[in-house]
Structures are given as structure tokens and as C-alpha cells.
A and B are shown apart, each in its own frame.
Chain A
Amino acid sequence: MTIVLATFSGLIARLYMLRRDYRQYPSYPQGWAIHLFIGFIGALLGAILVPSLIEVEFAAVSFLLMAASQFREVRNIERSSLEKLEHTELVMRGTAYIEGIARVFEARNYLAIWTAFIVAIVSEMTIHAGWMVQIPAALAAGAIAAGVLNQLMRGPSIGDIADVKMTEIGFDGPILVVGGVSVMNVGLTTARERYLKQAVAAEIIPRDVEAKATLANIGQMQAIAHDAAAMVGVYMDVGEQEFTPLVRRDPESGKLVMVMIPSEDNQEAFLEAVSNVPVLETAIRKPLRSIAGRMMDGRG
């Protein structure tokens, strides 16, 4: 009973987390099948851990270790398949973003194990109270565990650490200037006209020193370009490098500017897309936690 309940809860937890990552990864049926099955194995492991520990069977722990290495493999698989698909993207994800996605996929399996583990504990604790108590108590514990764990795993998005607003686009000779930052040299007159007519640009102004350091990460900049382009849609075709969405940094203030030519002009949607780009785990910097960082900020 415990095992069935816990496995089921873990599986549901994994399904719940799969449902939420539509933006990071296309949720085609095959991907679903793979991750649900691995999640099921994880949930089963978490579930049998509790009864076997009660029976003083510590061999179960070594199986858990073996499983952990299997789940690490999930990360490798996700990483290599995303890297292979990178060439097929009009706007690259960048290695930092791929690494972030791969980590999330690995971590979610552990969350499924935890959920199943917690459900199994509650189920074993309430086993003498009869199934009328046991089943609702275990399921409630599972729902709370999955919700809390998922909330903890959610990182901030760009909108949480920076202000995003539209900015102006201009040309200084052939140089494309966005919000006072030189972005690139656009040679063709026709391309320049297209930029002036159709392009949208946003300024991403960090709210504090830590946000500034986080936004200075190249992987984060590429992730912004990729995700915004993926959400809004790009105008460019294969090989039209001058229309590639670009993110550049203003060394003066630490703000980022992003310019792209969207498939349709909708400034609201564009701003929403940029604000919703996740902050990459690997890009997060906390300079204020160091003495030197605080001295630079005048708080030392």
C-alpha cells in the first residue's frame, strides 16, 4: 500500500513538473514518455526506501546510490541532445542555457524521489489509523512536498532582478546604436532601413550590484536573445546574420540592450518575453557577499 501510494505520488509530482516546462523544452510525446518513465523509476526507489529501512535492509541505500548515477546520466543525455540540436536553432541557446536546462531535468527526478520518500514516511506513520486516514494524509503530504520543492526550485526571471523597458534605435553611420550602446556594424542600406522600420529594442537595467554582475554573463545574454526570440518569433531567415537578435552590454552602467526584428510588431509582448527569461543558475553572482564587493559598493 505504502509503495503504491508513494510511487503514484512521485509520478504525479514528476508529471506536474513536466507540465510546467513547456517553454524550456518542447513537450513532444516521446520526451514525455522518457521523462515520465525515469520519474517513475525514481518514485519507486523513493517509495521502497522507507519500508526497506523499517525492515532494517540497508542494501536499499546502495541501490539508491546506483540510481543516482543513472539520473546523472539524464543530465548528460539532455545536454548532448540539446547541443546536437543547437545547429538547427536560428538563434543559439548557448552552452550556459543548455547546461541550465540539463540540470533542471536531473534535479526534477530527485524531486520525484523526495516526494515519494515523504509520502512513504507519512503512509508508514499513519498505517495503524486505517486507510481512511492513511491515503488522504499521504496524498496531502505528497502534494505539499511537491509544491514546496517546486517553489524552491524556481529561480528568478529577468523581470525580478532588472527593469525592462523599450528604448530607441538609431544609426551612427553604419553603426547600429540602441539606447546609447553601439551594437554592430550594419553594412547594407536596405538592412538599416529594415531596422529603423521594424526592429524593437529593450533596455534591461539591473536593480542592484548583484543583478549587474549576473547580467554581465555571456551565457545569460545569449539566453535572453534566444528566449525572447523563441517567444516573440524572429523575422530573419537562415544566413541573414545582420538580423540576428543581439544582446550587448553597456560597460558604463552595466545595463543590457537587446535588439531584434520580430515577426510581428508587438512591443508589449516583446517586453513580457524579455522579462520572463529565466535567470540562469550558473550566471548568478553575489559580489556583495564578499568584502571586496561591499567595499566597491561603498558599504565596507
Chain B
Amino acid sequence: MDITPTNQVLAVITTDRDRVGGSAPIFYVDSFSELEKVAVYLSRVFMAAVHDLGHGVYIIVKH
């Protein structure tokens, strides 16, 4: 059986260290372009969707 977690935050990508915390893997990046790039890479790895929470915080969620 293949078990994949769905509707869970698989990763958080952010430009702002102060805004995030918690148990999901967090990726800190320096710029918006890097944010987008890392988000694409991670979404392809997880085969999941990228959501924008605003203020430079992206999350990867599998649906």
C-alpha cells in the first residue's frame, strides 16, 4: 500500500524568518525569485500544489 499524506502542510517556504515556525519543514530563502524557484522544485518533488499565504510565505499542500 502506498500511503501519501493529503491536506497536510508538507513544507513551508518563506523569505521572512519571523513569520513561520512549527513542525513542517521550513525553507528560508532570500528573494522572491528564489521563493518561486524553490516552491516549483518542492511542488514537483511532492507532486503537490503551491499556495500563497501572502507576505512571502508559500506552503506546499498535497490534495
Q: At the interface, is chain B mostly helix, strand, loop or mixed?
A: mixed
Are B58 and A238 in contact, CB atoms less than 8 angstroms apart? no
- Given A187-B58, A241-B62, A241-B63, check contact A174 B51 (CB 8 Å): yes
Q: Which residue of A lies closest to B58 (CB)?
A: A187
B36, B47, B54, B62: the one within 8 Å of A188 (CB): B36
**Binary flags per residue of A133-146, CB closer than 8 Å to B gives 1, else 0:** 00000000000000
Q: At the interface, is chain A mostly helix, strand, loop or mixed?
A: loop
Residues of A with C-beta under 8 A to B29: none
**Binary flags per residue of A176-205, CB closer than 8 Å to B gives 1, else 0:** 000000001111111100000000000000
B20 at the interface (CB under 8 A from A): no
CA–CA, A238 to B45, complex, Å? 11
B26 at the interface (CB under 8 A from A): no
- Distance of B44 from chain A, by nearest CB (Å): 6
A184, A186, A190, A241: the one within 8 Å of B40 (CB): A190
Size of interface on B: residues with Cβ below 8 Å to A: 17
- Distance of B27 from chain A, by nearest CB (Å): 14
Residues of A with C-beta under 8 A to B36: 188-190
Are A185 and B48 in contact, CB atoms less than 8 angstroms apart? no
Say which size band chain A's interface belongs to. 10 to 19
Are A174 and B52 in contact, CB atoms less than 8 angstroms apart? yes
Are B52 and A186 in contact, CB atoms less than 8 angstroms apart? yes
Interface residues of B in 13-36 (CB under 8 A from A): 36
- Given A188-B36, A189-B36, check contact A242 B54 (CB 8 Å): no
**Binary flags per residue of B35-57, CB closer than 8 Å to A gives 1, else 0:** 01001100110111111101000
- Given A241-B62, A241-B63, check contact A185 B47 (CB 8 Å): no
Residues of A with C-beta under 8 A to B46: 239
B40, B44, B52: the one within 8 Å of A185 (CB): B52
A173 at the interface (CB under 8 A from B): yes
CA–CA, A134 to B26, complex, Å? 81
A173, A174, A187, A239: the one within 8 Å of B47 (CB): A239
24 A-B residue pairs with CB within 8 Å: A173-B52, A173-B54, A174-B52, A184-B49, A186-B49, A186-B50, A187-B39, A187-B51, A187-B59, A188-B39, A188-B40, A188-B43, A189-B36, A190-B36, A190-B40, A191-B50, A239-B43, A239-B48, A241-B47, A241-B48, A241-B63, A242-B43, A242-B49, A244-B63
